[in-house]
Structure 1
Amino acid sequence: MDHQLWGLFFIVLAGFLAGGTYALWKTNRVLAVALGGCTALAVAAGVLRLGYL
């Protein structure tokens, strides 16, 4: 895969993880915080792969 497609994949993955974080917030905050951390890592990986930083 091209590095730009990997970047796009990570950004899309971050969107799904953010949705899971939002859905879990009321029921299990510990897991939601962990998922939020994974979301931040996926965004960072996507941004770095796309070469914005």
Structure 2
Amino acid sequence: MAIVLFVVAGFLAGGVVQLIKSGATKFSVGLVGLLAALAAAGGVAWLLPGNG
């Protein structure tokens, strides 16, 4: 599952770059960037050892 989250984060990060290049609004760039950061954080959290 962590790999899937990292792949999603990569796609979203690429989307941020494309949004910046196309001159999109700061809100949309920020929103997609936030989603990319959350996906990356989820991937890292998934790799952390659990209490189970």
Category of TM-score, reference length = shorter chain: 0.7 to 0.9
**Per-residue CA distance 1:7-35 (angstroms, 9 max, x = gap):** 01000100000010111122222101100
In the alignment, which residue of structure 1 is the partner of 2:27?
Answer: 30
Q: After the TM superposition, which residues 1-53 of structure 1 pair with which residues of structure 2 at under 5 Å, given as runs?
A: 6-25=1-20, 26-51=23-48
CA distance in 2, matches of 1:23, 1:42: 18
Q: Calculate the TM-score normalised by the size of structure 1.
A: 0.79
SS at 1:23 equivalent: helix
For structure 2, list consecutive stretches of 5 or more residues without a partner in the other structure.
none
- What TM-score, normalized by structure 2, do the two folds share? 0.80
Root-mean-square deviation (CA, aligned residues, Å) is 1.3
The higher radius of gyration belongs to 2
Query: Is there any run of 5+ residues in structure 1 with no aligned partner, and where?
Result: 1-5
Aligned residue type for 1:44:
A
Q: How many correspondences in the alignment?
A: 47
**Identical-pair percentage:** 36
What code does the residue aligned with 1:35 have?
Answer: V
